[in-house]
Amino acid sequence: MENQISIKREGFGTKFGAIAAAAGAAVGIGNIWNFPYLTGKNGGGAFIVIYIFCVLLIGIPIMISEFILGKRGQKNMVGSFKTLAPNSKWHWVGWFCVVACFLILGFYGVVAGWSFAHVAEAIGGIFNGLNAEQIGDKFTRHITHPIWPIFWHFIFMGATAGIVICGIRKGIEKFSKIFMPVLFVLLMILAIRSITLQGASDGLKFIFKPDFSQVSAKTILIALGAAFFSIGVGNGVMVTFGSYLRRDTELGNTAFQVSMTDTIIAIIAGVAIFPAVFALGFEPTQSSGLAFITVPAVFQSIPGGAVAHYFFTLVFFILLSIAALTSSVATLEVVVAYFTEEFKVKRIGAALVISGIMFLIGIPCALSIGAVQINLFGVGFFDFIIFLVEAIFLPVGGLMIVIFVGWRLKKKDIEETLSANGVKAWYQDSCLLLIRFIVPVVIVAVLVKTFIDAF
């Protein structure tokens, strides 16, 4: 095995930078509203316990598998498969993940563009004095407009490309080391303000009070799916980042730290949002309505006057935008790494062209929401792309990676990769058992459940 990154191939410079970048890849807009909502609607504290259990037994082994693949292969998503399984068809799994990244940023960039637009509007004080209905009308006008969603999607993709162009250490790592702590601090500010509101206890109960009457087999599958998608596996990001890790990086500890960071941020997001939602008499809503309508309306109603309304609304949308960027940068890097290494394309050219293609994919996504009716198989183009990614590309990608690591790689190679300093990892045997037998069965179960619900 080539144990260290070559001089020509850049890697993470510090352990903190590597963890911040990987955690940033996992943390996204969904952490800010979807996880808290799922928690409240599926048993509160009971769901959190099940979710953490799923992260430990399913999510972390998948992440470790991706880290093994990247660290062992020392190349991009496709190149690692070619190195570890030469003269085989396994590299098509890498291509599968590369295509997934194109699709992800096609729709994700549109949603993230909404966040960027709301930051600009919050700076201008547009939300001041508006109620929930007025904010909802404004949001609807924005996402159905034929130009503005595309414009902000373009701005967001430009920001993503700009960070990736700067490289691993000066771009992705530096950005993550600065803005992941900023994200955490902003989230804590919102959480502290939220729980100090009169009547906030109802919101805390909504998230944390265990309600085992709502726990069923379906709840467990929801927690499994949430764990799988939340920590950012299945699209090759952790494989790519694994190839940038330092030689002495302990993969199990890194995977645990990244996964727990993602989980803690999701829980704190719930503490920041729902106590205020309940204290001020709003109803929790799902999907984009919570982030772009309910929460801004909540912050327009908190005690403290216009200055407080302005400050907390702005902080929230900056928070959303940072979460979006940390994920998008990692996703774009998967594709850029492939083209720069396999085709010797310069990073700046690869980042600009690839982000441009992703921007073009996002145009029909943005238009299909309102301006132009674009349907595929009876579903709006935007929703179809999301379903394609979440129901097929991510779980299938994750499934093939764990099968490859569990059954194609030699056990001694896995042991060597997991051993940071020549010492056998204490979790090695149990982790390999999970990777070979438990995780594939669970992913298949999630796939089956997803298709049953869809059809």
Under the banding of pLDDT at 50, 70 and 90, the label for residue 31 is confident
Under the banding of pLDDT at 50, 70 and 90, the label for residue 8 is low
Higher pLDDT, 370 or 73: 73
pLDDT of residue 37: 79
Say which range, 72-76, 149-153, 313-317, 383-387, has the weakest mean pLDDT: 383-387
pLDDT of residue 453: 78
pLDDT of residue 5: 38
Under the banding of pLDDT at 50, 70 and 90, the label for residue 286 is low
Mean pLDDT to the nearest integer, 2-19: 73
pLDDT of residue 183: 95
Mean pLDDT to the nearest integer, 255-277: 93
Q: What is the per-residue pLDDT across 329-349, written as a single tens digit (0 to 9) for each?
A: 999 999 999 999 999 999 999
pLDDT of residue 154: 98
User: What is the domain partition of the chain in residue ranges?
Assistant: 15-454
Mean pLDDT to the nearest integer, 265-283: 89
pLDDT of residue 287: 57
Q: How far, in Å, are 19, 21, 168 from residue 176 at the CA level?
A: 9, 5, 10
Under the banding of pLDDT at 50, 70 and 90, the label for residue 285 is low
pLDDT of residue 7: 39
Under the banding of pLDDT at 50, 70 and 90, the label for residue 38 is confident
274 close to 33: Cβ distance less than 8 angstroms: no
Under the banding of pLDDT at 50, 70 and 90, the label for residue 2 is very low
Under the banding of pLDDT at 50, 70 and 90, the label for residue 54 is very high
Higher pLDDT, 5 or 186: 186
Q: What is the per-residue pLDDT across 401-442, written as a single tens digit (0 to 9) for each?
A: 999 999 999 999 999 999 877 788 999 999 999 999 999 999
Mean pLDDT of the chain: 91
> Structurally, what CATH architecture does the domain formed by 15-454 represent?
Orthogonal Bundle (1.10)
Mean pLDDT to the nearest integer, 352-377: 91
pLDDT of residue 422: 76
